[in-house]
A and B are shown apart, each in its own frame.
Chain A
Amino acid sequence: MEILDIKDLSFTYNEAALPALKDISLSVNEGEFVVLCGATGSGKSTLLRLLKPQLSPFGTSTGVISFCGSPISECASAADIGFVMQRPEQQIVTDKVWHELAFGLENMGVKQQDITRRTAEMASYFGIEDKFDKSTAELSGGQKQLINLAAVMVTEPKLLILDEPTAQLDPITASDFINTVKKLNRDLSLTVIIAEHRLEEVIPICDRLVIIEDGRIIASGPPNEVVTRVYDRDDIMCGMPAAARISAYLGRKDCALSVKEGRELVRCYNNDKASSEPEKAARSSEPVLEFRNVYFRYERALPDVLNGLNFSVYRGEIFCILGGNGSGKTTALNAAAGILKPYAGNIYVFGKKLKEYKNQSLYRECLALMPQDIQTVFLRNTVREELKDAGVDPASLPYDLTPLLDMHPYDLSGGEQQLAALAKVLALKPKLLLLDEPTKGLDAASKGRIRTLLRGLADSGITIVAVTHDVEFAAEAADRCAMFFRGEIISTASPEEFFSANSFYTTAASRITRGHFEHAVTARKAAELCLLNGRKAGM
């Protein structure tokens, strides 16, 4: 049964010269799982918001959107279409979890007894009974997003729309979230439309993939067919699952999507003719940042967060620290930046103890920290003022910020915010750059841009330490990777050795090639090895 039908939809924002959406036609059946992908600013969010009358942007639209057979603005009550947005924190309305779950029902005017029953039901289904009485402020990002989903599901919507719901989550939490959505889709035959940058997880499980570019749908259909059609588009392919990228490099007509299909594919090329050795990068022996037996805890009664931490970072390298939530990665970074003070052990920056840097001298032409929450870097109303404050000449930057100068920093996209913040940080002429989750919330193209930029900085002699959850990013960007676990670093190696030694905490490409090729941790490398080996006879 058709639940949603869009015919020739075009939309132009007020005060905008060009339309944001052009001739969109799409129909979605009940129970379908649709993934919408496209670059930042391609019109994904506009389209999704037009499907939810309460959130429709202001502007002029032509064309028809029908929901369950009648025009959407007439029939759809807020309860029928659920909408989950990107930022987990900001969507929460009330101060308690139970109140949040009840909120939608309160708005529908549902009776007290029914609210009790339905919130209890939701809490059990989502496994959040123990959080029921908690303050919403106490929850982690992933839990908040789960509450947002539960709070939307409580009114029993027929259609669930998700606009980049996992952008602010770490990969493991994100994958849990996607699985919950898939479970809802499977258990209740709930129709799902999801816009995502992180396609590794969603593409293998979706029924339909829609690619949108400059406000137009350029491809729509079963995911493997759609991906095959955009093989030649590097800017789109860079965000696709590793298996799909390998297929594209090999020019396969039957596109693999999941790790399982990817392994099937690589098996056909496992000829033992060529193999890969981990690259040994020539590295400086001059240590820039050293941790020696560093111990830190937030309060006397709490356990150690840094537990005898030891590591060294050398000049001009990109050092990526990986590890789970709460393992102490960010704490280590903040200790290195002098924001947190360890109670035992020493930290050396350029051979000098951290304590010996007096009067902000640590932050002058020495070290700079880019925080995880990039918005905290900005204090002014325009990018221009920001740069002026920091004493940056926009023309001297390695990238062009001119089109953004008169915008409010909060109005920039995630990738643009990273670039603007980096400009402000680079004004301090740091020789050691500490980055906390530099790729959080970015699409694949922006990640690529950041990667190139960091490589350029490293080549110019700036040492970079990045804390990240993003294994794909670390595999491509890092010179060395380190695994953080319970307050210490338990292994350090080049990305090739590091990720091929891990079997769970590793890249999709490494999981695909495991047992077939050694040290192939990126899709490009895997594909190159396949081509070198050639296809096995008869397969």
Chain B
Amino acid sequence: MLLIKNKNLRAFIVRAFPFVLIPAAAILGAVVFDNSRHLIISLAIAVMTLLVFAAGYEKKKVGTWRMVIASVMTALCVFGRFIPLFKPITAITIITGMYIGSETGFLVGAMSALISNIYMGQGPWTAFQMLAWGLIGYIAGIIAEPLKRHRWLLLVYGVVTGIAYSFIMDIWTTLWYSNGFDIGVYLSALVTAIPYTISYAVSNFIFLFFLAKPFGDKLERIRKKYGL
């Protein structure tokens, strides 16, 4: 299932899209287009997500299995968003990125936002959530080796991403509210969001604490059992 055949193009997509083009599109959409074309942006981000994902594929057998695992992890995230108070969505995205790879991590984070918003309500925020969770998963994939080796690092990463997620979403709140970026509004948004920020950080800590190793074992077990 080689989706993109040209090797250079694949390498370009894997590097340039998640770090340059996707954030650029999101910021452009928020700043230059006057808070506006969020649906186009969310669509554009989804396309680019797909390209990153597609570029990560090489062999056929792994392809189908990765496809399925991405859907399972996405479904677990979406299901988890219905749990009151504690949300495992970031933790599962991190685990996916860590054990399956950056591209899948990105896809799971981004698709979870898109699908759960079918139930929670779509809006311009969808694009930002897709971006925030996608990046969290992608970065977890890049630093997978140290994360797997040191548990404390993983937990720190969980807490940091919990806070970062809140900060990113507040950028969005600010942009949406005050027609351009205003540091005063941003700070007050951060202050009002403190309970949420804490809940994100704590959720990530708890879920990573309890789930990271079992998930690693599970994926390893499946890999062995089915010779993937």
In the assembled complex, the Cα of A57 lies from the Cα of B227 at a distance in Å of 8
CB contact between B227 and one of A58, A381, A408, A411 (< 8 Å): that residue: A58
CB contact between B217 and one of A57, A58, A381, A411 (< 8 Å): that residue: A381
Tell me the dominant secondary structure on chain A's binding face: loop
Tell me the dominant secondary structure on chain B's binding face: helix
Least distance between A85 CB and chain B CB atoms (Å): 14
In the assembled complex, the Cα of A442 lies from the Cα of B128 at a distance in Å of 50
Least distance between B79 CB and chain A CB atoms (Å): 13
In the assembled complex, the Cα of A350 lies from the Cα of B152 at a distance in Å of 52
In the assembled complex, the Cα of A411 lies from the Cα of B224 at a distance in Å of 12
Q: For residues 369 through 410 of chain A, which have their beta carbon under 8 Å from a beta carbon of chain B? A: 381, 408
- Residues of B contacting A14 in the complex (Cβ-Cβ under 8 angstroms): 227
Question: Which residue on chain B has the smallest CB distance to residue A411?
Answer: B225
Q: Does B221 reach chain A (CB closer than 8 Å)?
A: yes
In the assembled complex, the Cα of A411 lies from the Cα of B227 at a distance in Å of 14
Question: Which residue on chain A has the smallest CB distance to residue B64?
Answer: A54
Interface residues as binary, B23-59 with A (CB distance below 8 Å gives 1, 0 otherwise): 0000000000000000000000000000000000000
- Residues of B contacting A57 in the complex (Cβ-Cβ under 8 angstroms): 227
- Residues of B contacting A411 in the complex (Cβ-Cβ under 8 angstroms): 225
In the assembled complex, the Cα of A411 lies from the Cα of B217 at a distance in Å of 15
- Residues of A contacting B227 in the complex (Cβ-Cβ under 8 angstroms): 14, 57-58
Least distance between A94 CB and chain B CB atoms (Å): 10
In the assembled complex, the Cα of A58 lies from the Cα of B228 at a distance in Å of 10
- Residues of A contacting B214 in the complex (Cβ-Cβ under 8 angstroms): 381
In the assembled complex, the Cα of A28 lies from the Cα of B227 at a distance in Å of 30
Question: Which residue on chain B has the smallest CB distance to residue A58?
Answer: B227
Least distance between B228 CB and chain A CB atoms (Å): 10
- Residues of A contacting B217 in the complex (Cβ-Cβ under 8 angstroms): 381
In the assembled complex, the Cα of A156 lies from the Cα of B225 at a distance in Å of 32
In the assembled complex, the Cα of A58 lies from the Cα of B225 at a distance in Å of 10
Q: For residues 187 through 212 of chain B, which have their beta carbon under 8 Å from a beta carbon of chain A? A: none
Interface residues as binary, B213-226 with A (CB distance below 8 Å gives 1, 0 otherwise): 01001000100010
* 8 nearest A-B pairs in the assembled complex, by CB-CB distance: A58-B227, A381-B217, A408-B221, A14-B227, A411-B225, A57-B227, A381-B214, A381-B221
B interface residues, Cβ below 8 angstroms from A: 214, 217, 221, 225, 227
Q: A57-B227, A381-B214, A411-B225 are in contact. List 5 more A-B contacts (CB 8 A).
A: A14-B227, A58-B227, A381-B217, A381-B221, A408-B221
User: Could you give 8 example pairs across A and B, Cβ below 8 Å?
Assistant: A14-B227, A57-B227, A58-B227, A381-B214, A381-B217, A381-B221, A408-B221, A411-B225
